[in-house]
Chain A
Amino acid sequence: MEAESVWLGLSRPTVLKLAKSVSAITFVVWAVMVINRMFLGGNGMYELLRPEGGLMAAAILVLTILTVVMWSIYLSDFKGTIEIEQDGVFDKVSLVLSRLAMLSVIAIEVVMLYEVISRYVFNAPTLWANELSLWIASVLFLLAGVYAMQQRSHIRIYIIYDMFPRWAKKTADTVSVLLIMIFTFCLVWGGYNEALLKFSRMEKYGTAWNPPIPATVKPLILILIILVTFQAISNLIADWNKDDSHSPEDEIDQTEIENIRKTLES
Chain B
Amino acid sequence: MFDVGTISLILLISMFVLLAIGMPLGFASAFLAVMTLVMKFGPDLLFSNFGRGPLAVLGQAVYRQMTNYVLISVPLFIFMAALLERSGIARDMYSSLNVWLNRTRGGIAIVTSVMAVIMAAMSGIIGGEVVLLGLIALPQMLRLGYNQNLAIGTICASGSLGTMIPPSIVLIMYGLVTETSIKALFTASFLPGFMLATFFIIYIIVTTQLDPSKAPLPETDPNDPKGLDKALMFLGFLGRFGMWITGTLLVRVLFFTVTGQNTVTEGVDPIPLGMASDIMPIVVAFVICGVAAFGIAGRARTAKGWEMGKGLIAPTVVIGVVLGSIYGGITGITEAAGMGVIAVFVIGLIRREMTFEIVWDSVMRTLKSTGTIIWVTIGAAALAAAYTLVGGPNYVANLIVGTELPTMGVILIMMLIFLVMGMFMDWIGIVLLVMPVFLPIVLKLPVAELGWFGSLDPKYVGVWFGVVFCMNMQVSFLSPPFGPAAFYLKSVAPDHISLTDIFRGFFPFIGLQLLALGVLLAWPPIITIFLV
Contact = CB atoms under 8 A, between A and B. Distances in A.
A associates with B: yes
Interface of A: 80-83, 98, 101-102, 105-106, 108-109, 112-113, 115-116, 120, 123, 130, 133-134, 137-138, 140-142, 144-149, 151, 153-161, 164, 169, 172-173, 175-176, 179-180, 182-183, 186-187, 189-196, 213-214, 217-218, 221-222, 248-249, 251-254, 256-257, 259-261, 263-264, 266
Contact of B371 (A151, A172, A191): A151
Given A80-B364, A155-B25, A155-B425, 17 more contacts: A116-B338, A123-B261, A137-B69, A138-B67, A141-B370, A149-B375, A154-B375, A156-B23, A161-B22, A164-B21, A172-B22, A183-B33, A186-B37, A194-B52, A248-B482, A259-B361, A263-B91
Interface stretch (B81-89, B181-189, B234-242, B411-419): B81-89
A105 B491 contact: no
Contacts of A195: 59
Of A141, A149, A158, chain B has the most CB atoms within 10 Å of the CB of A141
Contacts of A261: 135, 492
Nearest to B369: A153
Interface string B8-40: 000000000011111111111011011001000
Interface string B321-362: 000000000110011001101100000000001000001110
The B interface, classified by DSSP as helix, strand, loop or mixed, is: helix
A151 B342 CA distance: 28
Contacts of B58: 186-187, 190-191
Given A82-B368, A130-B69, A183-B31, A109 B55 contact: no
Contact of A134 (B69, B359, B491): B69
Interface of B: 18-28, 30-31, 33-34, 37, 46-47, 50-60, 62-63, 65-67, 69, 71-72, 75-76, 79, 85-88, 90-91, 128, 131-132, 135-136, 259, 261, 330-331, 334-335, 338-339, 341-342, 353, 359-361, 363-372, 374-376, 378, 424-426, 428-429, 482, 484, 487-488, 490-492
B66 A221 contact: yes
Contact of B368 (A151, A182, A214): A151
Contact of B21 (A161, A217, A221): A161
A179 B342 contact: no
Nearest to B261: A123
B66 A142 contact: yes
A145 B375 contact: yes
B335 A264 contact: no
Contacts of B375: 145, 148-149, 154-155
Contacts of B62: 187, 221
A183 B259 CA distance: 57
B128 A155 contact: no
Given A134-B72, A221-B59, A249-B491, A105 B34 contact: no
A164 B34 CA distance: 27
Contact of B22 (A123, A173, A218, A248): A173
B24 A155 contact: yes
A175 B55 contact: no
Of A193, A256, A266, chain B has the most CB atoms within 10 Å of the CB of A256
Nearest to A261: B135
Nearest to B332: A130
A263 B86 contact: yes
B22 A156 contact: yes
Given A112-B335, A263-B87, A80 B361 contact: yes
A144 B66 contact: no
A157 B425 contact: yes
Which 9 residue pairs of A and B lie closest in terms of their CB atoms, listed nearest first?
A190-B55, A148-B371, A191-B59, A161-B22, A193-B51, A154-B24, A112-B338, A144-B371, A172-B21
Nearest to A154: B24
18 contacts: A102-B363, A109-B342, A112-B334, A112-B339, A153-B369, A154-B375, A155-B25, A158-B22, A180-B30, A186-B34, A186-B58, A189-B46, A189-B50, A194-B60, A217-B63, A261-B492, A264-B91, A266-B88
A145 B67 contact: no
Contacts of B46: 186, 189-190
Contacts of A157: 19-20, 22, 25, 424-425
Nearest to B20: A160
B491 A190 contact: no
A251 B484 contact: yes
B135 A260 contact: yes
B30 A183 contact: yes
B490 to A, nearest CB: 7
A82 B361 contact: yes
A56 B321 CA distance: 39
Contact of A194 (B19, B21, B59, B66): B59
Of A142, A179, A249, A266, chain B has the most CB atoms within 10 Å of the CB of A179
A116 B364 contact: no
Nearest to B22: A161
B376 to A, nearest CB: 6
B487 A248 contact: yes
A227 to B, nearest CB: 13
B331 A116 contact: yes
Contacts of B365: 82, 253, 256
A129 to B, nearest CB: 10
